[in-house]
Structure 1
Amino acid sequence: MDGPARKYVRRIVDAELDVLLPVLPALSLEGARGVGKTSTALRRARTVRRMDEPAERAVAYGDLNRLVTGPRPVLIDEWQRVPESWDTVRRAVDADSSGGQFLLTGSSAPLEIPTHSGAGRIVTIRMRPLALSERRIDTPTVSIAELLTGRRPTVEGATSVDLQRYAEEIVASGFPALRGLPGRALRAQLDSYLERITEHDFIEQNRPVRSQALLRRWMIAYAAATATTATYETIRDAATGGEDNKPARTTTQPYREVLEQLWIIEPVPAWLPTRNPIARLALPPKHHLADPALAARLLGADAAALLDTRPLGPPIPRSGPLIGALFESLVTLEVRAGAQAAEANVKHLRTKGGEHEIDLVVERGDHRVVAIEVKLAQAVADEDVRHLRWLANQIGDDLLDAVVVTTGREAYRRSDGIAVVPAVLLGP
């Protein structure tokens, strides 16, 4: 995707690369097309091999060893287009395991699986669209890493960012090359991005689609299911509303599989506590697209339409308006980036029947967690924290901290110790 030329904005993942690249021999940056992997890798590479260029691919297939020659670090960009490059790097690392040798970037899972996983040789790092803190809308004052310490840090800070600005950020996109594009140009770029998925990427993944119209409708239905745990049958039915003959599961299941391989959809998995089992937990994932702007564009929603709160898209059961779901998706981007930097995982919790739900559960390696609720509101009432209080009663000291992320103006701790944080004040 082409956009206005701009100065490189340091990414959260750069801190990981600062630590890992000097001591590990090979790192692979993976994520959806357009999230900035190549720009980030180019700042560190001394030799560049671009596998998305036919001439470079031809040379690589003629002599794979050429891929791993040259001043280090060597960047192999879009490595999945020459799947053999993975094993070539692995063998080079077997011969010399010193740090800072190779960077790989990939925008999809390869068609041909490498003969070796690369475990112990190539470390994979996930990269996503720009989180709110990376967009530099305001200066974060509350750190996800500090919340994960369990020391209940001081929560403070103020912002002037309001609901209107959050709606604008939802549709503005976190793809770096699209930042700053005016409305029509931005919409055209997002349309082009989505068209490439349906018209080219499935074919490149060797999964041609019989009906691009049905695939598009399925993606629209998935966008409408953002931040819900709707079943895939519900999404399929929403995509084919009014049709007597529903497509078989074998028709729509490949849509999900390929879109996950392309990192276009990234569901939040369910959390299953191991130290303090909770009865009757539901297992379905929570649905999210890589960038909430893609969901908004699929549903034909601009900032004004989101603020209008009228129903948009296929009828998917959810609590609250679409803007609430997409705001949660925007917050999820931030939390995932911060959690990854802190070596934690992001999941969600929902009991069967939906009696209790926690939007985001950030889990440390020792299985202790920070629980986060996302509220499309400026003020937080006792009713808004009842699920967090319930979880505290269920898992005790394993709950490191509890947070409500809002569209409000001030960050603070309530008298019950629960942190209230405006979204733009939350950072890594």
Structure 2
Amino acid sequence: MKKRYLKRVIDDILKERLEMIGAIVIEGPKWCGKTTTAEQHAKSILKLQDPDKSKSYLKLSEVKPSALLEGETPRLIDEWQMAPVLWDAVRNSVDNLNEVGLYILTGSTSVNENEIMHSGTGRIHKLIMRPMSLFESEESNGKIAIMDLFNSPNMDINGVKSELSIEELIFASCRGGWPDSLNKKTKKAQLFVVSNYVDNICESDVSTVDGVKRDPQRVRTLLQSYARNISTLASDETIIKDIRANFTNISKPTYYSYIDALNRLFVINNVPAWNPNIRSATAIRSRAKKEFIDPSIAVALLGLTPETLLYDLNTFGFIFENLCIRDLTVYSTSIDGKIAYYRDKYGLEADCILHLKDGRYALIEFKLGSNEIEKAAENLIKLDNLIKQNIRDYKINIKEPSFLAIITGGELAYTRADGVKILPIGVLR
């Protein structure tokens, strides 16, 4: 039986960009749906991993790479990074044909730029694809669009309801946004997908990404430490100390080579600090916040289950933050939204600064339950007032926040008397 295709946020973006530029490269983690989505837009396909033809394709790429580009356009070249020379072949073809919508390249690793001759600027446009958001997996009803909040900050959201129970939210976080998991018949099989993904990363992918052999157990130990420190500002030294408890001889260069490989595989998704030039730069925390591309990776690494997390909501709060970051990044993809966080030594913080390409931004906190909403709102308002004071007194070159929001695992959306919006994750898109 043919699997039903669930539309992705990136679909409309891909369709639009194919009408603007010669080639699109879609990068992202394995199993997030890149090939399936690209196939919806392609008219011919070259799969470099085809076991029957892979060797022939790679040999041909060495002799005459342009031959692999022959086919009806848009032509999909899947896992193109197996033959990096195809990048320059595509760039050259786009130059010669001077047309748009010619090629779609997909890849599960970012390529070392030393392996390609030219950047492709103006000819090849890069899109990052992530695992499915709750709206894409049809678990959020999508009644409130993040972009609508930017365009109409005073829109009425009162009474909009999420149908997502806490049990369903926890399971969705444990299962993750891997499209293949949604096609499994049992919950056990759905959870196995991410467990298998983690095994593949540790056992093979982290070594094949750049041809450097790495110890699978060290990789797993590193990732487990990352998982224990998810959604925190834990230092690299903290992670290294964890690893050295099991492997005393790991050096910092070795550690950073592992981190580089995991970044290239799109496993790690650290959140940078936001520095809006308010107060003193030395007062603002600048360390990256530890996150994964999908919260399910942390769950699998820590051996957690939906049942254990239901009785450990403190731990689930950190997983929930990773889930929210994944979804907000997906929802703001159409206008190149970026995620950061703010925290200073005076105690002011915002779990998320979602800023758009046009300079608008929102201050957002993530709180699983209602008992922390009051403190979170107080923090957001203090930060909002600080920004406005700096704009007024010091003429800093920054806009005022478009809106303040707290994203929760609750049921009802509403706007508080102080203007802070309460948004259940199950109503967003």
Q: TM-score, normalised to structure 2's length?
A: 0.90
Matched letter for residue 37 of structure 2: T
Q: 1:357 aligns with which of 311, 330, 349?
A: 349
2-side partners of 1:133 and 1:254: how far apart? 35
Q: What does residue range 255-294 of structure 1 map to in structure 2 within 5 Å? A: 255-273=258-276, 276=278, 279=281, 280-294=283-297
> 5+ residue gaps in structure 2?
389-398
Residues 147 and 59 of structure 1: CA distance in aligned 2, closer, same or farther (over 3 Å): same
Q: Compute the displacement of 1:141 (Å).
A: 1.8
2-side partners of 1:321 and 1:291: how far apart? 19
Alignment-derived partner of residue 313 in structure 1: none
Q: Compute the displacement of 1:93 (Å).
A: 1.3
C-alpha contact (below 8 Å) 1:51/1:79 kept by paired residues: yes
Q: 2:324 aligns with which of 315, 326, 331?
A: 331
> Percentage identity across aligned positions?
27
Q: Compute the displacement of 1:291 (Å).
A: 1.4
1:98 is paired with a residue whose SS is coil
2-side partners of 1:210 and 1:74: how far apart? 35
C-alpha contact (below 8 Å) 1:168/1:303 kept by paired residues: yes
- 1:224-254 per-residue CA deviation (whole Å, 9 max, x = no partner) reads 11111110111122234377x3622122111
2-side partners of 1:58 and 1:147: how far apart? 52
Q: What does residue range 21-36 of structure 1 map to in structure 2 within 5 Å? A: 21-36=18-33
Matched letter for residue 341 of structure 2: H
Q: What does residue range 367-382 of structure 1 map to in structure 2 within 5 Å? A: 367-378=359-370, 381-382=373-374
2-side partners of 1:105 and 1:210: how far apart? 25
Residues 180 and 7 of structure 1: CA distance in aligned 2, closer, same or farther (over 3 Å): closer
Alignment-derived partner of residue 344 in structure 1: 337
C-alpha contact (below 8 Å) 2:175/2:191 kept by paired residues: no
Matched letter for residue 23 of structure 2: A
Q: Compute the displacement of 1:388 (Å).
A: 0.7
Q: What does residue range 3-402 of structure 1 map to in structure 2 within 5 Å? A: 6-53=3-50, 54=54, 55-111=56-112, 113-149=115-151, 151-156=153-158, 157-181=160-184, 182-241=186-245, 245=248, 247-273=250-276, 276=278, 279=281, 280-309=283-312, 321-352=314-345, 355-378=347-370, 381-396=373-388, 398-402=400-404
2:221 is paired with a residue whose SS is helix
Alignment-derived partner of residue 426 in structure 2: 424
1-side partners of 2:194 and 2:336: how far apart? 31
1:29 is paired with a residue whose SS is strand
Residues 145 and 342 of structure 1: CA distance in aligned 2, closer, same or farther (over 3 Å): farther
- 1:108-147 per-residue CA deviation (whole Å, 9 max, x = no partner) reads 0225531111111101011000001111124112211122
- 1:270-289 per-residue CA deviation (whole Å, 9 max, x = no partner) reads 11225x56641111111111
C-alpha contact (below 8 Å) 1:217/1:240 kept by paired residues: no
Q: Compute the displacement of 1:36 (Å).
A: 0.3
Q: TM-score, normalised to structure 1's length?
A: 0.91
Residues 302 and 63 of structure 1: CA distance in aligned 2, closer, same or farther (over 3 Å): same
Q: Which moved more, 1:10-19 or 1:233-242?
A: 233-242
Q: Which moved more, 1:35-44 or 1:87-96?
A: 87-96
2-side partners of 1:389 and 1:208: how far apart? 49
Q: Which moved more, 1:362-371 or 1:39-48?
A: 362-371
1-side partners of 2:317 and 2:339: how far apart? 19
Q: Which moved more, 1:417-426 or 1:60-69?
A: 60-69
2-side partners of 1:399 and 1:7: how far apart? 40
C-alpha contact (below 8 Å) 1:147/1:370 kept by paired residues: no
Residues 140 and 183 of structure 1: CA distance in aligned 2, closer, same or farther (over 3 Å): closer
C-alpha contact (below 8 Å) 1:87/1:114 kept by paired residues: yes
Matched letter for residue 297 of structure 2: L
Q: Which has the higher helix share?
A: 2
Residues 266 and 361 of structure 1: CA distance in aligned 2, closer, same or farther (over 3 Å): same
Count of residue pairs the alignment pairs up: 411
Q: Compute the displacement of 1:190 (Å).
A: 2.5
1-side partners of 2:344 and 2:122: how far apart? 37
2-side partners of 1:322 and 1:246: how far apart? 31
Alignment-derived partner of residue 391 in structure 2: none
2-side partners of 1:140 and 1:134: how far apart? 9
2-side partners of 1:352 and 1:96: how far apart? 56
- 1:269-317 per-residue CA deviation (whole Å, 9 max, x = no partner) reads 111225x5664111111111121111100000011111221xxxxxxxx
Matched letter for residue 342 of structure 1: I
Q: Which moved more, 1:280-289 or 1:196-205?
A: 196-205
Alignment-derived partner of residue 396 in structure 2: none
Root-mean-square deviation (CA, aligned residues, Å) is 2.0
1-side partners of 2:242 and 2:318: how far apart? 17
2-side partners of 1:359 and 1:299: how far apart? 23
Matched letter for residue 415 of structure 1: A
